[in-house]
Amino acid sequence: MNSAVLTIQCADARGIVYNVARFIFERGGNLIDSQQYTEELESRFFMRVHFDGGDLDEIARELPAFADEHGMEAALSRSTQRKRMAIMVSKYDHCLYDLFLRHQYGEINADIALVVSNHPDLKEVAARFNVPYHHVPVVPGARGKAEQQVLDLCAAAGVDFVVLARYMQVLSPLLVDAYRRRIINVHHGFLPAFQGARPYHQAYEHGVKLIGASSHYVTEELDRGPIIEQETIRVNHTHRVSDLVALGRDLERKVLSNAVKAHAEERIMVYRQRTIVFD
């Protein structure tokens, strides 16, 4: 399809929707779907437009001048330019399997270019889905060298964004800067509660009645990036630690896959530490 997604954000003002629609129409485009949102506290306007037809080369060429004229931040993504993602994983396999299966079923509008792991354990899983698997150990004191190797692998494979599918290593600014707002992580807890190791054990010890999982963009601050997706489930005193772990795995799979799908479909817009996630 000769279609594309245009996303814009700017200070709220009269006529934005009209001007965007006219810009696309005058270049032969036809709107398929349009969503917009105004953040009232700071009077910030966000818009996502899916359209087809028209001269996409002309639209891409003239978009910067149009955006500058109206004080907009704008981005154009063509349907023919399918994104490529890298998956980073350690030893937990549930999120990796889920992403592979959803990709196989056509639920994720992106291609899995490669899998990178600091352990060799899941190599056979990637092989079942015919995806290259790279074992990149993270040696104490040599994190930068390992991350540079990851960056080289991603560059060679044409990777657009990175998914941390329970990758149990903290990323340095080297990798974060290279894929700013393009690294999606899943946190095994409802942020910001029960951070750190053994979150379900902490939850069990505190007798919680609600557990959750969160997916967010990675920043330099650990587990403090803009949140994309969250989900919770109610529990009670009859749930054992093993029950919480099992329920948590389901939540992790769901929030991560939803975040990946939203990113691949250009449905997420970030403003400061907040995200606007269109349906």
Residues annotated as catalytic are: 223
CA 187 from centre of chain: 13
Number of CB atoms found within 10 A of residue 244's CB:
19
Q: Strand pairing of 110-117 and 73-78?
A: unpaired
Distance CA 215, CA 226 (A): 9
Task: Report the first-to-last Cα separation within the chain, whole angstroms.
Answer: 21
By the 10 Å C-beta count (0-12 exposed, 13-18 middle, 19+ buried), 182 is classed as: middle
Cα gap 195→210, rounded to integer Å = 15
